[in-house]
Structure 1
Amino acid sequence: MKIRPQLRFRSAAVVALGALFLAACTGGKEQGVAPGAGGPQQAPAVTVMTVKSEAVPMVAELPGRTTPYLIAELRPQVTGIVTERAFNEGSEVKAGQVLYRIDAAPYQAAHDSARAALARAEANAQVARIKAERHAGLVKIEAVSKQANDDAQAALKQAQAEVAAAKAALDKAKIDLDYTRLKSPIAGRIGRSAVTAGALVTANQAQALATVQQLDPIYVDLTQSSVEMLRLRSEIAAGSVKTGARGEVPVRLILEDGSEYAAEGRLALSEVTVDEGTGSVTLRAQFPNAEGVLLPGMYVRARLPQGTRSEAILVPHKALSRDPRGNALVMVVDGESKVAARPVQVAQSLGENWVVTGGLQAGERVIVEGLQRVRPGAPVQAEEAGAAPAAAAQ
């Protein structure tokens, strides 16, 4: 029987591989090395930081929006045609400055008519007074009857009442005439105008003609959770947070672009009720705004000092992680150079660190670098942060 070349080649290859495997096994036994054995694994190197207890200033960062210090909506008090708009939109106006003029002709005529009516009433009162004085003298000598004297005295009082009514009508006409010149009640910056010359406006209409806002100083309305406020008060009562002397509370402002507002403000008031819908308390801070950087409606963040925590531990942001439930934890290295997961309580963020209020003790070593190479219970080679690196040979 003839053997095909392909089968002959495969048989030779199998024999050669078997010989090589046997030689390798024999060589390993002769050298005394156990099959599958490898070199010892080294513990991973990590960087640790020895934490310490220190006094940490407590700062609350609250969201808020800017609101004008004063705001006035201009509405006409009389009905008429606007004859002039006496301001530039977006400009600064002064208190008492005339902003709109309404056609004053009908109100001027009413004012003149009221003045004439007052003059007529005063003339009638003069006649009634003379008659009443004459009857008062004549009734003593019984030259006139008591009834005639009573009528004269009553006519005098009626004439005096008509004078008073005429004066009130004149005052009303004068007020209406003054209302034809619509003035700014406050100093500030005026916005766009809702009407132009020739528009018909009505007294006490719903639509404002323009709005004037005083922006220097300016308010910032902040919201703080009532839970945080109660927690802070309890910590102050327990002595863990210390407050300074009473006085104005300084406030720093962070703008929308992340920059810090140059001027420092102060806390003006704290609302006395809690919003039922949001469960928060409104705080109002006042800031100088001479440059006009802050505009109404801007979203800002304010930083308010809330005392000093006497015994707190600062841990870098990169050293803290979260478990699946969202609880904060750090990895520590114990005395046997083994890793342990430690749950901690965090109060707030301060710069590049977390303020830890529970779960850690001063003197413990927290892993700040190399967290991805460790697991709880595993040994590590710990090196203190900031220490000189070990030599290459070591």
Structure 2
Amino acid sequence: MSNKLKTNLKMKNVIITSFILALILSSCADKSQAPAPAAPLLPVLAVSSANTITDTEYPASIQGTVDVEIRPQVSGNLDRVLVDEGAYVTKGQSLFKINERPFREQLNNALASLHAAEAALINSQLEVDKLTPLVQNKVVSDYQLKTAKASQKIAAANIEQAKAMVESARINLSYTNVTAPVSGYIGRLPKKQGSLVSAADIEPLTKLSDVHEVFVYFSLGETDFINFKAHYTGNTIGDKIKKLPPVTLILADNNAYEKSGKIDMVDGQFDKNTGAITLRATFPNANGTLRSGNTGKIRLGLQHDDAILIPQSATVEMQDKIFVFTVNNENKVNKMPIIVIGKSGVNYLISEGVKSGDQIVLSGIDKLQEGQLIQPEKATSKVAQIINKK
């Protein structure tokens, strides 16, 4: 190849290389001069204070107004079981029948003893009647008459004792018919017909629950109880109880019970083991929906004046802490931790973190970063309601 041809090839390579470098530099220059992405347009709400009611839920246990164990008061064979498990019974209705023959014989024996005592009294009276004129005529000594009168008193006492034995035998006989002390629902029946039962048995014949009303027991910690008392006026706990609003029972399926209840009892002291005090609310239960042994939650509402409310949808939870994004005067966001002390509907009640007048971002907070610039859009009340529903 000639020198001239080599020189031409080198010149072409230089030109091509220069062109490629120019393209690369031009591309880099275009990228460095590309416009920054626009700040996101996000709805912003001014925090304000308002009067509100917060709902706090406490685990609760349900009992009938009367939960009684049905136990035999005499020993014997269970002749008949007159009810079925789960049945509704009325006060005085027969539930069980214990073999009564031994107790009827005891009654007959007691009656016989009473009749013998009555005859002895008659005999002693005859003796007194015989000796009285003889003593008056000084035929016999006064000592014999006094002895006869003493025997008469012993015979009268024996009658009283015999009457008591008869009454005791009648009571024991009546105990063979086990009846319902109150109206209510029958529990399990561990004893079957033919079983030997005794008053000393560990297990009762059954349990009977009167649930036309139910007692719902729940506990408050010391701090909650102090706050609870502070919200209501009255010199005593009894005065405060009278002014308490109705409470709601949340059942195990998270649905609210159809009837409201009334707190009517506060325990006299705190449990030293749990540090909590027990309260009782009474609920009507005419339909028998609630049964003894049910569980649920008591929803207790507390009034708060000038409370700071934050929509739950405007918060983000990280590492057991809750944050909101506030907006400063330069439209930059700041991640601010807040202290939640309760809930009111779809809002959090705040004690620390933000104050009335602060601006917070309502939505789109999942992609925000500390110090990011945004375009705030003032949220109308209608917009806020839509966001809260989400």
Q: TM-score range by the shorter chain?
A: 0.7 to 0.9
Residue of 74, 90, 95 corresponding to 1:94: 90
Out of 51, 63, 67, the residue aligned to residue 67 of structure 1 is: 63
Offset, 1:202 = 2.3
Cα-to-partner distance string for 1:78-119 (whole Å, 9 max, x where unaligned): 222222111222211111111111111121111111111101
TM-fit CA distance, 1:26: 7.4
Distance 1:373 1:192, change over 3 A: closer
Q: Name the counterpart of 1:288.
A: 284
2:104 counterpart residue number: 108
Q: 2:45 is matched by which residue type in structure 1?
A: M
Show structure 1 runs of 5+ residues with no match.
3-10, 238-242, 390-394
Q: Residue 24 and residue 114 in structure 1: after superposition, are their counterparts in 2 closer, same or farther (change >3 A)?
A: same
2:227 corresponds to 1:228 = no
In structure 2, what is the equivalent of residue 315 of structure 1? 310
User: Which residue of structure 1 aligns with residue 387 of structure 2?
Assistant: none
Q: How many residues align?
A: 370
TM-score by length of 2: 0.85
1:351 to 314, 334, 345: 345
- Structure 1 residue matching 2:277: 3-state secondary structure: strand
Task: Report the Cα distance in structure 2 between the residues aligned to 1:142 and 1:13, rounded to whole angstroms.
Answer: 177
Residue 169 of structure 1 and its aligned partner are, at CA, apart by 0.9
Could you tell me which amino acid in structure 1 is paired with residue 284 of structure 2?
P
Checking the alignment, whether the CA contact within 8 Å between 2:312 and 2:346 is kept in structure 1 is yes
Alignment of 1:100-249 (within 5 A): 100-132=96-128, 134-135=130-131, 138-233=134-229, 246-247=242-243, 249=245
- 1:249-300: per-residue Cα shift (whole Å, max 9, x none)? 4111111112111111111211122122222221111111122222222221
Query: 1:18: Cα distance to partner?
Result: 2.5
SS in 2 for 1:195: coil
Does the 8 Å CA contact 1:43/1:379 hold for their aligned counterparts?
yes
Contact 1:44 1:373 (8 Å CA) reproduced? no
Deviates more, 1:90-99 or 1:190-199: 190-199
The 8 Å contact of residues 232 and 240 in structure 2, kept in 1 or not, is answered as no
CA gap 1:328/1:28 in 2 versus in 1, 3 angstroms: closer
| Contact in 1 for aligned 2:48/2:308 (Cα 8 Å) | yes
Per-residue Cα deviation, 1:226-247 (whole angstroms, up to 9, x for no partner): 221124445769xxxxx99944
SS in 1 for 2:202: coil
**Contact 2:315–2:323 (8 Å) recurs in 1:** yes
Aligned CA distance change for structure 1 residues 198 and 27 (closer, same or farther; 3 Å) = closer
Seen in structure 2, the aligned counterparts of structure 1 residues 248 and 37 have a Cα distance that, compared at 3 Å, is: closer
Q: CA deviation at 1:378?
A: 3.1
Residues 1:245 and 1:227: Cα distance change in structure 2 (over 3 Å): closer
Task: Determine the C-alpha separation between the residues in 1 that align with 2:45 and 2:23.
Answer: 50
State the distance in 2 between where 1:126 and 1:388 align.
101
Contact kept, 8 Å, 2:215 with 2:283, in 1: the verdict is yes
CA distance, structure 1, for counterparts of residue 232 and residue 116 of structure 2: 76
Amino acid at match of 2:32: G
The CA deviation at 1:359 is 3.5
Match of 2:42 in 1: 46
Structure 1 residues 42, 161: closer, same or farther in 2, change over 3 A? same
- Describe the shift of the 1:179–1:17 C-alpha distance in structure 2 as closer, same or farther (beyond 3 A): farther
Percent identical:
28
Q: Deviations over 1:23-73 (max 9, x none)?
A: 3267689xxx68833313422322211121111124332111211221222
Measured in 2, the distance between the counterparts of 1:217 and 1:315 equals 39
Deviations 1:193-216 (A, max 9, x none): 222222222233222112111121
Letter in 2 for 1:271: D
Counterpart Cα distance in 2 of 1:363 and 1:146: 112
Please tell me whether the aligned partners of residues 265 and 287 of structure 1 are also in contact (alpha carbons under 8 angstroms). Answer: yes
Whether the 8 Å CA contact 2:61–2:294 is kept in 1: the answer is yes
Question: Contact 1:223 / 1:283 at 8 angstroms: preserved in 2?
Answer: yes
Contact 1:374 1:380 in 2 (8 A): no
1-structure distance, mates of 2:344, 2:334 = 25
Q: CA RMSD in A?
A: 3.1
Q: Deviations over 1:352-385 (max 9, x none)?
A: 1101133332222111212233333332211122
Alignment of 1:263-278 (within 5 A): 263-278=259-274
Q: Residue 155 of structure 1: CA displacement?
A: 0.7
Letter in 2 for 1:161: A
Residue 18 of structure 1 aligns with which residue?
Answer: 17
Change over 3 Å in CA distance of 1:134–1:331 after alignment to 2: farther
